[in-house]
Amino acid sequence: MEQAVGEQTPARALSGWLARTWLLPYLLIAAVAVADLLLPRSLSTGAFLVLAPLLAGRLSTGRDHVFGTGLAALVVGFAFGRYLHRIDDSQLGLQLVLIALGTLFALLNQGAYRRERSAFGRAADTVTIAASLAAGVEPEQAYELLARSARTLYAAAAVAVYRRQHEEMVSVAQDREMLVPQLPTRLDAHAFPAAFSTRPERVGGRARSGPEVPVLLARGLGSLLWLPLVDVAGRQSGTILLAWRQRDPRLSAADLDASVRFASLGARAISGSERVQAQAEVLHQIQALLLETPPAWAAGYQIGVRYQSASGLAEIGGDFYDVVEMGKEGLAFIIADARGKGLEASSLAAVLKGAFRTLAGEGAGPAATLVRLDRLVAREGGEEDFVTALAGRVYPNGRVVLASAGHPVPLGADPPLIPRTAAPLGLGTRPVDAFGLLRPGQRLICYTDGLVEARSRAGEFIDPAELDRALAASTLDEVLDRLVVTVEQHSDGRYADDLALLALEYAPRA
């Protein structure tokens, strides 16, 4: 049953109570005053008022709150001692001195408590920043996170993150208070030498000269700190500029040491993000090459492809397909899966695709093509590299030639066209051509093992009957879409491997 409107849950009530804890010291003063009124006039509990500022010092981080509580305790103590109990001046003075000392002690203790909380807070923030940066964010996000985190950690009025470009520093992210103008977007090595230092440099205080002083004065700032971004190789890749309104932000030696470690963490994270982005751009280009969409119809065949990655771009595998038009001789095609993930697998797949196009242009048959590619993998690949591949030729009259090197046989043909499966490429394959004939409307659905190795949460493979239902769709595009949906639903969106589909339907035109 839904909770009634306006009903207060225990969690909400607790949250509201915690938000009002600043009232507790005043409630304590009220309780002492009530006790003084109820007890005989010969008894006084005014000395307990000293507990109010001490309590405020533990519950609040604001000095005004502690001071206000102490002042309230002094007023109540004086009024009750003077007019209710009429204690002598020495006793009253001692009571007020005790409250004043308690207030002073609370203020001093609160300062230490705030510094302790600040240290723990900075440590926690640094861990959070490290976790966020290590999570693999984009470089632009890393820059912004670094600027925002630096300003939070060091209570700065403005922060700018710069990346080094030869003899210039270029601003890539800034985080500022609302009324602080933008910091310089470009810094010249001759004009701002401290920005290019590999050690932290502080500017401000009573200094009235130096290239940074006009920058500070124009923005109403009083001091700044340059924090170099030094990568793992010891090269300065940029710098962080922290600026404060006050002339002395009171950075301790521990703060400066922590700032150096913070900048080192930021430099490594940004460098890692940029390397990941560069690799991602290369993988984007390779993926576009490997998964280039063939024409929708050629040489009497309708063609369809689909691809579903099992993971992020940086873990793209070596699945690829290709279709080459052979003029009046029909089409040559291949679908393959190179072992492994990432740049190495994708690069090997790209080399194989280029070699396949060359061999197809020379007129090599499917088995001969795979033998040549086997030698290429053995020569160019690593000791443990291998590739499964299915190569084929289809002719305008429906004739089909297939050869397999450790690759699953295609679906859809009736009767099924099953070539003898040889060893994968790179392992000394010896494939043999298999021949068949397609009637108009018949299809070849070639696939990588992401289709048949998809598992449910219980570890079960796809029921072949589900694949048959997908294959029974009326159009080629519907078949491919249903196969992708079948895998996604069966695995609950958890792809165990990349899925590539290449489908050919014999559809001769009049």
What is the crossing angle of helices 476-491 and 464-471, to 10°? Answer: 150
Sheet holding 223-230, edge to edge: 186-188, 168-176, 158-165, 236-244, 223-230, 201-204
Report in angstroms the alpha-carbon separations of 127 from 29, 133, 142, 147, 150.
41, 10, 15, 16, 13
In tens, the pLDDT along 434-484 reads 999 999 999 999 999 888 888 778 878 888 888 889 998 889 999 999 999
Query: Can you name the CATH fold of 136-280?
Result: Beta-Lactamase (3.30.450)
Q: Is the pTM of this model over 0.85?
A: no
* Average pLDDT of the residues of the chain: 79
pLDDT score for 149: 77
Can you give the residue ranges of every domain in the chain?
11-129, 136-280, 291-506
Of residues 276 and 234, the one with the higher pLDDT is 234
**DSSP calls for 383-440:** TT--EEEEEEEE-TTSEEEEEEEB-PPPB--SS---PPEEPPBTS------EEEEPPT
Distances (CA, A) of 101 to 107, 163, 178: 10, 53, 40
Instruction: Report how far Cα 323 is from the mean position of its chain's Cα atoms.
Output: 37
| Mean of pLDDT values over 381-388 | 82
In the predicted structure, residue 371 carries a pLDDT above the cut 80: yes
Contacts with 410 (C-beta within 8 Å, 6 or more apart), sequence order? 390, 402, 417, 444, 445, 446, 447
Two tokens, residue 437: 């004939």
CA angle 433, 378, 449 (to 5 degrees): 60
Comparing 372 with 21, which gets the higher pLDDT? 372
Residue 205 has pLDDT above 60, yes or no: no
Instruction: Assign domain 291-506 one CATH number from 2.30.40.10, 3.40.50.1100, 3.60.40.10, 2.70.150.10.
Output: 3.60.40.10
Confidence class for position 136, pLDDT limits 50, 70, 90: low
* Per-residue pLDDT tens digits for 74-115: 888 888 777 776 677 777 777 788 888 877 877 777 655 555
Is residue 1 very low, low, confident or very high in pLDDT (cuts 50, 70, 90)?
Answer: very low
Q: Is the pLDDT of residue 408 over 50?
A: yes
- List the alpha helices (DSSP H) in 135-199: 139-153
